[in-house]
Chain A
Amino acid sequence: MQEWVEGGMVSRRVVLQALGLLGVSAVAAPFLAGGPGTASAQGNLAALQPEEKVDATLKRLFGGRPIKDGSSVIKMDLPLIAENGAVVPITVEVQSPMTPTSYVKSIYIISDHNRRPMNARFSLTPEMGAASIGANLRLNETGDVRAIAELNDGTLLMAKREVKVTVGGCGG
């Protein structure tokens, strides 16, 4: 028998146990390796993002690199209150030139209270003309959603917004 467990019901111990099971190999997740790996077993637990706190995610993704406040250049559009956490539309727009010498290289979407905070990474190119992306997120519970933009010179900019979630829609 399996059941869907809502995020709030999972104790810290369970999360830690799961982390232990995933082992160190999970930390070296294939996510950032780029390119699709082998098709088999890509979706199993070892290949997924580790369950971790958002601080750990930021550390894993960006190391100790400083993240600047980018709230003046990053425009995030997402609902203040999401009635259904299973579908939360978000658009992120970074006010930046998109020329071959100066452009936004990637945009990360990280939600603090999902078990796997790393939600999506978008890799952009100057050909897009504007750094603007949109997607539908699943959010587990009320919390901040962060958008982190990485410029081609390595600068990291972050903006965040709180979203109130009435019914959680995650589980991952």
Chain B
Amino acid sequence: MADIGKVRIRIPSSVKRGDVVRVRSLVIHPMEIIQRDKAGKPVDRNYHFINKVIVTYNGREIFQADTTQSISENPFFSFAFKPMEPGMLKITFLDTHGGKYEGTAEIKFS
């Protein structure tokens, strides 16, 4: 699983000032679910999954998500965003093992 933490971000190719655009992002991550032993008792260990997503634009935080294991493997998130100035959109994914995965996308007006 060498690909863990690979982040892909897609934004529409042409963006105008004040448009509400849909940002789509994907991160490669196992999002482990809870294992149980034969008796059905959950196995206690540090499960590896993303529990926080933070989106910033030019350093300002615009969106956050708290996630659980009820989110699919290789999680996909999308959200609306209305850029008022060109800049850099950064999405940070944090997981329970201290992993930090980042992806950026530049928004330019056409």
Residues of A within 8 A of B (CB): 1-5, 9-11, 14, 17-18, 21, 31, 36, 39-49, 86-89, 91, 98, 111, 114, 116, 118-125, 127-139, 169-172
- The answer on a CB contact under 8 Å between B34 and A172 is yes
- The answer on a CB contact under 8 Å between B79 and A133 is yes
Task: Give per-residue flags for B59-82: 1 if the beta carbon is below 8 A from chain A beta carbons, else 0.
Answer: 011111111111111011111111
The CA-CA distance from A135 to B63 in the complex, in Å, is: 14
State the Cβ distance, A45 to closest chain B Cβ, in Å: 5
Closest 4 CB pairs of A and B: A129-B82, A43-B96, A39-B98, A172-B69
The number of chain B residues with a CB under 8 A from chain A is 52
- The answer on a CB contact under 8 Å between B69 and A132 is no
Query: Given contacts A124-B63, A132-B80, A134-B76, are A114 and B46 in contact (CB under 8 A)?
Result: no
State the Cβ distance, B39 to closest chain A Cβ, in Å: 8
- The answer on a CB contact under 8 Å between B46 and A42 is yes
The CA-CA distance from A18 to B73 in the complex, in Å, is: 24
A-B residue pair count with CB separations less than 8 angstroms:
170
State the Cβ distance, A131 to closest chain B Cβ, in Å: 7
Residues in B with CB closer than 8 Å to A114 are 70
Q: Which residue of B lies closest to A88 (CB)?
A: B72
- The answer on a CB contact under 8 Å between B98 and A133 is no
Residues in B with CB closer than 8 Å to A44 are 44-47
Q: Which residue of A lies closest to B20 (CB)?
A: A129
- The listed residue (A18, A40, A131, A170) touching B46 by CB distance below 8 A is A40
- The listed residue (B52, B71, B81, B98) touching A40 by CB distance below 8 A is B98
Segment 37-52 of B: residues with Cβ below 8 Å from A: 37-49, 51-52
Task: Give per-residue flags for B12-56: 1 if the beta carbon is below 8 A from chain A beta carbons, else 0.
Answer: 000000001010100000001111111111111111110110000
Residues in A with CB closer than 8 Å to B42 are 18, 45
Q: Which residue of B lies closest to A131 (CB)?
A: B80
The CA-CA distance from A17 to B37 in the complex, in Å, is: 14
